Structure 1
Amino acid sequence: MIRLDDVQIFVQTVDAGSFSEAARQLSIAPGLASSAVQRLEKALGARLFMRSTRSMQLSEDGERYLPHARALLGALAQGEQALAQGRGALTGPLRLSVSSDFGRNLLLPWLDDFQHQHPGLSLQLRISDRAADLLRQPLDAAVRYGALADSGLVAMSLAPDNRRALCASPAYLARHGTPSSVEDLRRHNCLRFVWSEQVHERWRFTLPGGERTVSVSGDRVSDDADVVRRWAIAGEGLVYKSRLDIIDDLVNGRLVEVFPHQHCEPAPLHLVCAERVQLTPALAQLRDFLRIRCDAHAARAPVD
């Protein structure tokens, strides 16, 4: 008989990287964590970890078993949430991955409101401009911009009409002039950010004559898109990012749009989970809540 707590300790050990760290997170003795995984290995008739005195990593059998272990624990949590929903409450963890700028400046206060409405939820938030691996990381969902390359993921639209915006501070434009065409971008200092190890430096536009991509350059690049936005506000160059992220800056005059936003690259916003069975009542309600907030925020944007 496989014990569910052994499965939980196995998954926790994978995520933590060691028995000692998993034990610390679970508030148990390291020996208990090791014994639990050994008991699970015996029940499965398979070796889940390759161990040495200096390292520990998943075996091939461990790699194969891990997604099923996560699914088992996920199904258990969904069952508990279904019972709670029957009593009119959402409970349990809500584990999200979000991008830096949107996460810090918009989503964070929205999630505060959502959690206050559902105090039975415990929020776990990962803010990063690296693409989260929803199949391997302990996450319920991610909030992502752009078209999804992972066709197996389930994407729920939050802001389907959102686009990027090309903008700069009034001070920068006063010093360097306003670009009159996309070709002018080559002579401007363009502030770039890194998304999942790749520098976003090919800026795409939809012009009356068709699609146009411009390779830009500049003296600043960061793997944190919030930092890039702050550089733009400080007058250091042009920035090309989601219009949702910079609406407050546009409204308050900290940034000015250079081109009409309908000419800029689409940047739809999605709530993404690994598979349909992960669409828990908490995620479904969060999706509806965020759609309303995104619509209200987008309505504040200046009209071209």
Structure 2
Amino acid sequence: MHNHDEHEHTDACGDDCGHDHSHDHQHSPADELITVRDLVRYATSRFNRKKIFFGHGLQDAYDEAVYLVLHTLHLPLDRLDPFLDACIPAEERGEVIDIIHRRSDERIPAAYLTREAWLGQFRFYVDERVIVPRSFCAELLEGGLGPWIPDDEAVTHALDLCTGSGCLAILMAHRYPYAEIDAIDLSPDALDVAAINVEDYGLQDRVNLIESDVFDALADDQRRYDLIISNPPYVTQESVDNLPDEYRHEPAMSLGAGADGMDIVRRIIAQAGRYLKPDGILIIEVGYNRAEFEAAFPALEAVWLSQSAQDEMVLLLRADQL
């Protein structure tokens, strides 16, 4: 019986996706990479050899290889095992190899190739008009803001400042079921992408997209927020100059923020007090720039929040401190 199975397997592979021995076509990797296992191995090796950079959600070459292969073959992203030895027809193999080469040769982040990014269980549409979602704030929202917001249902107004793809605004809408969420961005292009995501989640009636340079569009407005979250541009000039090629595909305005990375943060801190309720809180992500933040605001005693991945990437300030 065992032999029979093996024989059948060979037959199937032989017909569908065996090697082409004719010598009148250009040799391509697709001739020899027959199974999902082959493609994942090929991608992992190529990504390591080309030293591509992983800063957009996935941890290493293997994770990125598995994700790109499964996604391109329209297979469930959390189930590799049943498909490892599946023979892939030549046409599909060509698609997968094309994606692998674009990722490694053009250094395009995976999210732009697949047009999607994930934060936890949440999937978002993305393209080159927005930065690839990767906020430390996402994990904080998933766990809730315990001592500072003891009752999620009491939050009625929240703001996602520098919303980009709209991902944090959407996470806030899920965390705070009764909140109306404003989502501000300076880029009309980014807001077009955010609109796709807001519609995908059916949140048009709760998430308002606003084109504004920080708080400018709200200037004469009376609205006040229980919570303002911002993942603003905060990359220092020196870091911008040394960014891996992958980041050059992202909108430059989403990354750099002056010599010390604090240009936008300064504007947020200067104005946020006006837009918070008396017991409201402001949360800002500054990445690895705690020292730059503390140098820019020596008088502010921020609370630095922890996530499982890294400590001290995100700070919290109360309205009475602003």
Q: Give the TM-score normalised by structure 1.
A: 0.31
> Relative contact order (alpha carbons < 8 A, sep ≥ 6): 1 or 2 greater?
1
More strand by share: 1
Q: Give the TM-score normalised by structure 2.
A: 0.30
